[in-house]
């Protein structure tokens, strides 16, 4: 095998890796966007419910369970927020950045990196001191 063939295969491998990485990141973007919207909506519902709950004058005089049963919107929104966090929404919201971060860690050993879209960045070879 000649050095030209080896270099050509290496570039083809890098291009294939880059295409696959960008494809994976692009496929994650719509799901990430949807999970961000879900998290935002549920957080706003909890904040609005908490505002109503705290502004209610009867909250101070009735027991906690009675106060929460008087405000089912806040109770349901809070339970939903806890549930989606237990299901891992915080990881789904940043899934693409988790993948790019881990890929950067691996590519660092090969004097490469990648941007947030998955495009490879070739770094110059380190100069050897002799």
What whole-number distance in Å separates Cα of residue 7 and Cα of residue 102? 26
Using a 10 angstrom Cβ sphere, with 0-12 exposed, 13-18 middle and 19 or more buried, the burial of residue 124 is exposed
Q: For 12-50, how does the pLDDT look when each residue is reduced to its tens digit (9 = 90+)?
A: 888 998 999 999 999 988 888 999 999 999 999 999 999
pTM, two decimals, is 0.72
Q: For 61-105, how does the pLDDT look when each residue is reduced to its tens digit (9 = 90+)?
A: 999 999 999 999 999 999 999 999 999 888 888 888 889 999 999
* CA quadruple 113, 34, 47, 69: dihedral sign: negative
What whole-number distance in Å separates Cα of residue 93 and Cα of residue 110? 29
What is the predicted pLDDT for the residue at 1? Answer: 55
């Amino acid at each position: 095998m000649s050095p030209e063939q080896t270099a050509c295969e290496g570039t083809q491998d890098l291009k294939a890796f880059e295409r696959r990485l960008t494809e994976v990141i692009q496929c994650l973007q719509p799901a990430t966007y949807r999970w961000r919207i879900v998290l935002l909506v549920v957080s706003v519902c909890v904040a609005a419910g908490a505002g109503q709950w705290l502004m209610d004058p009867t909250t101070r005089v009735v027991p906690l369970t009675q106060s929460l049963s008087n405000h089912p919107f806040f109770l349901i929104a809070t339970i939903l927020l806890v549930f989606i966090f237990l299901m891992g929404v915080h990881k789904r919201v940043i899934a693409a950045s988790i993948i790019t971060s881990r890929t950067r860690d691996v590519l660092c050993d090969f004097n490469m990196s990648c941007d947030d879209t998955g495009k490879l960045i070739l770094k110059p070879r380190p100069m050897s001191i002799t």
